[in-house]
Amino acid sequence: MWEYDFMQNAFIAGTIIAFICGIISYFVIVRRIAFAAHALGHISLTGAAGAAIIGLSPMSGLLTLNIISAIIMGLIGDRIRKSDMAVGIVLTFFLGIGAYFLYLYQTGYAGSIMAIMFGDILSVSSRQIFIIVILTSIVLISLLIIMRPLLFSSIDPTIASSKRIPSEALSIYFLILLAITVSMACQIVGALLIFALLVGPGAAASECCDGFYSSLSVSIGVSILSVWLSLLISFYANLPTSFCITMLISFFYIISLFIKRLRMRHV
């Protein structure tokens, strides 16, 4: 398997993205913004379609549009204090535009757009890996800077605001990091299955762990293990990788539920 360049690239890209998704996923769960992660995945389609129309790479289009959407979601969500509503409105607007873009770009519809919808990890190029490394570094360093106040404002928002922790600014900041991560993860699991990597690992960790670092480790572990096993299974059993990733993450989530039941018995 290792003699194939495409498999090497898939493992490198998959591991890096799984690592960063594991971390981001934990915060997505603690901050209860799974819907935003889901919506950004869908908005990626509009970005990719828009970029295709003006002749740019899908990645540049979805990255730009996802960041713009994240900022709008953060700003409206703060103002009306109902983030789900804000996400829903932004999603409706951009998905509508996406549908129109696809209508305009019917000839190229089957190619690059489909890759964004369902992911295509086996076609990752060295250039894409380079972009993924840069973006992951940006997300990771940015997250490390705000991790302590972000964690506290996620768990205890009332006290965080009494400590003058800038919760609203942190919220927009984190949504931007989420948007960048979604843009990368789209290439692996695709826009439609983005839920898998951005919600699943954090959800599994939150069910069976207590402390911050143990939860984070489990989340990263579940994420990386799912991607690795999926690549192996898809190579040897000839199954679609994104399908394997979603199935494995669901499987790990079910295991975490059993662990939770066992641990709750000793409480």
Partner 1 sequence: MNQKNIVESHQLCIGYNNKSLTEPFDLKLKENCWYGVIGANGSGKTTFFKTLLAEIKPISGHLLIMDSEIGKHNCHIGYIPQERELNANILTSAYSIILSSYNAHRWGIPIYSKTLKKIASDIIDTVGASDFAHKPFNTLSGGQKKRIYLAQALISEAKLLLMDEPLADLDPQSKKGFLDALRKIHKQTTLSMMMISHDMHEIAQYLDAFIHFRDNKVHFCKEMPCIKESAYVGI
Looking at residues 184 to 213 of the shown chain, list those that interact with partner 1 (rule: CB under 8 A).
206-213
In Å, what is the CA distance from 203 to each residue of 5, 27, 222, 236, 251?
Answer: 33, 10, 10, 29, 12
Q: Pattern of binders to partner 1 over 5-34, x per CB under 8 A?
A: ------------------------xxxx--
Should residue 145 be labelled a site residue for partner 1 when binding is judged by CB under 8 A? yes
- The verdict on 85 binding partner 1 (CB under 8 A) reads no
Closest distance between partner 1 and the C-beta of residue 226, in Å?
20
Shortest Å distance, C-beta 147 to partner 1: 5
Q: Report the residue number, 212 or 235, with the smaller CB distance to partner 1.
A: 212
Query: Which one, 110 or 267, has the nearer CB to partner 1?
Result: 267
218, 226 Cβ separation under 8 angstroms: no
Cα–Cα distances in Å, from 45 out to 63, 65, 116, 150, 155? 11, 10, 7, 29, 32
* Element holding 117 (H helix, E strand): helix 114-118
3-class DSSP state of 119 = coil
Is residue 221 close enough to count as binding partner 1 by CB under 8 A? no
DSSP-derived letter for residue 240 is -
Residue 203 beta carbon to partner 1: minimum distance, rounded to whole angstroms: 10
Which H/E stretch holds residue 115?
helix 114-118
Residue 124, SS3?
A: coil
Give the chain's end-to-end CA distance (angstroms, integer). Answer: 46
Q: How far is the CB of 81 from partner 1 (least distance, A)?
A: 13
Does position 106 bind partner 1 by CB under 8 A? Answer: no
**Residue nearer to partner 1 on the CB measure, 114 or 155:** 155
List of residues contacting partner 1 (CB under 8 A):
29-32, 144-149, 151-165, 206-213, 215, 260, 263-264, 267
